Chains A and B, each alone.
Chain A
Amino acid sequence: AQSVTQPDIHITVSEGASLELRCNYSYGATPYLFWYVQSPGQGLQLLLKYFSGDTLVQGIKGFEAEFKRSQSSFNLRKPSVHWSDAAEYFCAVAQGTGGGNKLTFGTGTQLKVEL
């Protein structure tokens, strides 16, 4: 069964500092990988996705992520964090069946931004 691990439950960074959120997945075949962000009381907004091709993917709000098959990782990065980035971030993996994509989520990383 597929699974996702986000080893960092909480991360605090200063505004303007760089950010890396870790995500490791377990899945036998080629995964579809996603990062979603959830602000307090809000739904899940897609930041970026990886299906195939270039392993460095760009997303919204200045985020990027790199798929590393050898490490089973899909870490999320941002070079300079803004206070509005404070939220919870979820990594997710889907079966690459081409049909409907059931998502398996990690436990999330809560990001706090210090001004």
Chain B
Amino acid sequence: EPEVTQTPSHQVTQMGQEVILRCVPISNHLYFYWYRQILGQKVEFLVSFYNNEISEKSEIFDDQFSVERPDGSNFTLKIRSTKLEDSAMYFCASSGGGHTEAFFGQGTRLTVV
């Protein structure tokens, strides 16, 4: 069964460092998303991506964040200069658009120290 895969599963980084979280969405999907879940809190939308550009972003997704689909299969989230409050589980998701659901990856747990 097709699935969304994310790497790494866990990343520890020092405050101020750049991190790149990687995702391989389901191959025939058209829409790609990043969500995050701070420990003990709800899952929050960060950004959606369609046709090689951001289609919507939340207020959380500030200039420190960027997304890219560099090679037609990977979908990445970059945090330029990490802060302690960026520590969270980051989920990638993809959907076919229209009346279809989003499929989520297993998540990357980011710990900023």
Binding site for B on A (CB under 8 A): 32, 34, 36, 42-46, 49, 51-52, 90, 92, 98-108
User: Quick one: which of B24-73 are within 8 Å of A by CB?
Assistant: 30-31, 33, 35, 41-45, 48, 50, 55-56
Binding site for A on B (CB under 8 A): 30-31, 33, 35, 41-45, 48, 50, 55-56, 91, 93, 95, 97-107
Q: Which residues of A contact B107 (CB under 8 A)?
A: 42-43
Partner of A44, one of B41, B43, B50, B56: B43
**A36–B98 alpha-carbon span in the complex (Å):** 19
A100 touches B105 (CB 8 A): no
Q: How far is the CB of B9 from chain A (nearest CB, A)?
A: 9
Q: How far is the CB of B69 from chain A (nearest CB, A)?
A: 14
B45 touches A104 (CB 8 A): yes
Q: How far is the CB of A83 from chain B (nearest CB, A)?
A: 22
Known A106-B42, A107-B41; judge A100-B104 contact (CB<8 A): no
Count A-B contacts at CB 8 Å: 64
Q: Which residues of A contact B93 (CB under 8 A)?
A: 44
A100 touches B43 (CB 8 A): no
Q: Which residues of B contact A51 (CB under 8 A)?
A: 99
Known: A99-B31, A101-B97. 9 other contacts (CB 8 A): A36-B104, A45-B104, A90-B43, A99-B55, A101-B95, A101-B102, A103-B43, A105-B44, A107-B42
Q: Which residues of A contact B100 (CB under 8 A)?
A: 101
9 residue pairs of the A-B complex, CB under 8 angstroms, read: A43-B105, A43-B107, A44-B93, A92-B43, A98-B99, A100-B50, A100-B97, A102-B45, A103-B102
Q: Which residues of B contact A46 (CB under 8 A)?
A: 101-103
Q: Which residues of A contact B41 (CB under 8 A)?
A: 107
A44 touches B42 (CB 8 A): no
Q: How far is the CB of A22 from chain B (nearest CB, A)?
A: 15
**A52–B98 alpha-carbon span in the complex (Å):** 13
**A76–B71 alpha-carbon span in the complex (Å):** 40
